[in-house]
Amino acid sequence: MKLSKLLLGLMAGALLISTSVARADALDDIHKAGVLRVAVPQDFPPFGSVTSDLKPQGLDIDVASLIAKKLGVKVELIPVTSANRVPYLQTKKVDLVISSMGKNAEREKVIDFTAAYAPFFNGVFGPADQKVSGPADLTGKTIGVTRGSVEDLELSKIAPSGATIKRYEDNNGTISSFLSNQVQLVATGNVIAAAIIAKNPPKKPETKFLIKDSPCFIGLNKDEKKLQDKVNAILAEIKKDGELSALTVKWLGLPLPANL
């Protein structure tokens, strides 16, 4: 009698544990703990870097804080590198990866992604008075680019023969050539364009057209539908009310593109 009661109790207990394991849900766990753990970069400005007093700063950090605020929990920032950010997620050391991560087929096999939250692209940039909307308009223009970069290789393929491409040794040369009017346009990443804008030059590089687009997505573990839906809902909300756009203006110098 006593023994059967004990067995019953054990079985019930085991059942309870097993169901609680099976139904463990990342979103519930976050609410229970009151903390959202986010993997953020610390060596990739303007997405994530550390200030002189060792505080993390950057677009990814602000987005992480904003999402935690919307969830009603505190944020815990965990610095990662681009090599270890996915393992951190898989071993459940973090709930989300907000680390300027692009979506590709290999990553989609092991983790899930939410909607995109930030633009990351290579394109042709130029001041407002340059009327350029596609590769064909580059005829007769001089475009600065960093030699051997992705944008150099792509631009060399798509530029018409009438365009003059000036290839500089590094990004600083490309930036200087643009600022000193040696070239009319530059082909570079939006992060570099943001760095030019941050210097507050007399002519501001505006996006003319995209060469290669690979926006940033938030990564989370597979089969966390509730968390994925919740983060997507938050992203939709902050996109709609302009909060996310304000952050991209702050860190990248340009509003959130319409296609995100």
Binding residues (CB under 8 A) for another protein: these are 144, 147-148, 152-153, 166-169, 173, 176-177, 180-182
Give, rounded to a whole angstrom, the gap between the first and last alpha carbons of the chain.
Answer: 65
> Tokens representing 190?
């939006």
- Our CB check for another protein shows the closer of 52 and 180 to be 180
- Our CB check for another protein shows the closer of 38 and 185 to be 185
**Environment class of 249 (CB within 10 Å of its CB; exposed 0-12, middle 13-18, buried 19+):** middle
- Our CB check for another protein shows the closer of 146 and 228 to be 146
Residue 212 Cβ vs another protein, minimum distance, rounded to whole Å: 17
d(CA 94, CA 188): 33
d(CA 129, CA 136): 17
- Our CB check for another protein shows the closer of 88 and 168 to be 168
**Which residue has 């005829």 as its token pair?**
139
Residue 125 Cβ vs another protein, minimum distance, rounded to whole Å: 17
Whole-number Cα distances in Å, 111 to 25, 29, 64, 83: 16, 18, 18, 14
- Our CB check for another protein shows the closer of 153 and 233 to be 153
d(CA 93, CA 111): 14
Residues in the chain: 260
Residue 187 Cβ vs another protein, minimum distance, rounded to whole Å: 13
Q: Write phi, then psi, for 240 (nearest 5 degrees).
A: -70, -45
Residue 149 Cβ vs another protein, minimum distance, rounded to whole Å: 9
Quick one: how far is CA 54 from the chain centroid?
22
d(CA 155, CA 152): 5
- Our CB check for another protein shows the closer of 103 and 167 to be 167
> Tokens representing 210?
């995209």
- Our CB check for another protein shows the closer of 31 and 167 to be 167
Residue 195 Cβ vs another protein, minimum distance, rounded to whole Å: 16
DSSP state of 138: G
Residue 153 Cβ vs another protein, minimum distance, rounded to whole Å: 8
Whole-number Cα distances in Å, 149 to 34, 45, 145, 170: 44, 19, 8, 9
Residue 180 Cβ vs another protein, minimum distance, rounded to whole Å: 4
